[in-house]
């Protein structure tokens, strides 16, 4: 399969080519068409398989049209490193679009993240604990949320984030697209 066959918006396909990618990886081939079609999805994939692009590309595709500056996609991931990596991917693949994202993680001050959330962003990438902090302080408005991604869901379980994730998911609109990526599929 080629990237052209995935029918991503031209601005996104251009950014993918500029990143030097020649063809989609298997997880991208398997996931992108269904995500573009608006389906919920469980993807079995480890880091290093191209999983980040498998969800960021179709999310950028979906959000490229429509009102900007309202939180429409939330990506939950277990660690600060992964959150920053996903933030970088969104910036690289979205460089020809005008969507804004914020990365929210612990270990740093609240203020710059709050400032960014208050100004309004289209996509938030977050670790669960810090996102709950911001929610508690009233800085996050989920009313326009359309897409939720649970990245490395098995690691979030292992790290004890299940209650935090449940609380966050409980605050989201029920009508949304939900995508889950995990290297393993434990029953929980
Ligand atoms: P990930 O599994 O998302 O951590 O991605 C692993 C690495 O693969 C990253 O450095 C990506 O830039 C790179 N990558 C993602 N998709 C492709 C692709 N289709 N072709 C070549 N490299 C890719």
7-62 pLDDT tens trace: 999 999 999 999 999 999 999 999 999 999 999 999 999 889 999 999 999 999 99
Closest approach atom of ligand 1 to CA 48: 2
Q: Could you tell me the end-to-end alpha-carbon distance of the chain, in angstroms, rounded to an integer?
A: 34
119-172 pLDDT tens trace: 999 999 999 999 999 999 999 999 999 999 999 999 999 999 999 999 999 999
Backbone φ and ψ of 137, nearest 5°: -90, 0
Ligand 1 centre distance from Cα of residue 137 (Å) = 36
What is the model's pLDDT at position 70? 96
Report whether 57 contacts 36 (CB < 8 A).
no
What is the model's pLDDT at position 187? 86
pTM of this prediction? 0.97
Q: Give the binding-site residues of ligand 1, using a 6 Å CB cut-off.
A: 21, 24-25, 28, 47-53
Residues 6+ apart with CB under 8 A from 105: 79, 80, 83, 84, 126, 127, 130
60-98 pLDDT tens trace: 999 998 889 999 999 999 999 999 999 999 999 999 999
> 76: helix, coil or strand?
strand
CA-to-CA distance for 150 and 136, rounded, in angstroms? Answer: 21
Closest approach atom of ligand 1 to CA 85: 4
What is the model's pLDDT at position 168? 98
């Amino acid at each position: 399969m080629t990237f052209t066959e995935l029918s991503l918006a031209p601005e996104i396909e251009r950014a993918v080519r500029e990143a030097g990618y020649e063809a989609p990886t298997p997880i991208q081939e398997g996931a992108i068409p269904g995500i573009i079609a608006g389906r919920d999805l469980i993807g079995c994939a480890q880091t290093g398989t191209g999983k980040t692009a498998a969800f960021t590309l179709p999310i950028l595709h979906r959000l490229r049209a429509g009102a900007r500056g309202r939180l429409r996609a939330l990506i939950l991931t277990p660690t600060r490193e992964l959150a920053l990596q996903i933030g970088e991917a969104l910036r690289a693949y979205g460089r020809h679009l005008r969507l804004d994202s914020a990365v929210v993680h612990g270990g740093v001050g609240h203020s710059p993240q709050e400032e960014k959330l208050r100004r309004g962003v289209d996509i938030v990438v977050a670790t669960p604990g810090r996102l709950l902090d911001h929610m508690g302080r009233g800085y996050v408005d989920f009313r326009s949320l359309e897409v939720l991604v649970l990245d490395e869901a098995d690691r979030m379980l292992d790290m004890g984030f299940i209650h935090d994730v449940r609380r966050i998911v409980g605050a989201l609109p029920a009508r949304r697209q939900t995508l889950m990526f995990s290297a393993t599929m434990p029953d929980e």
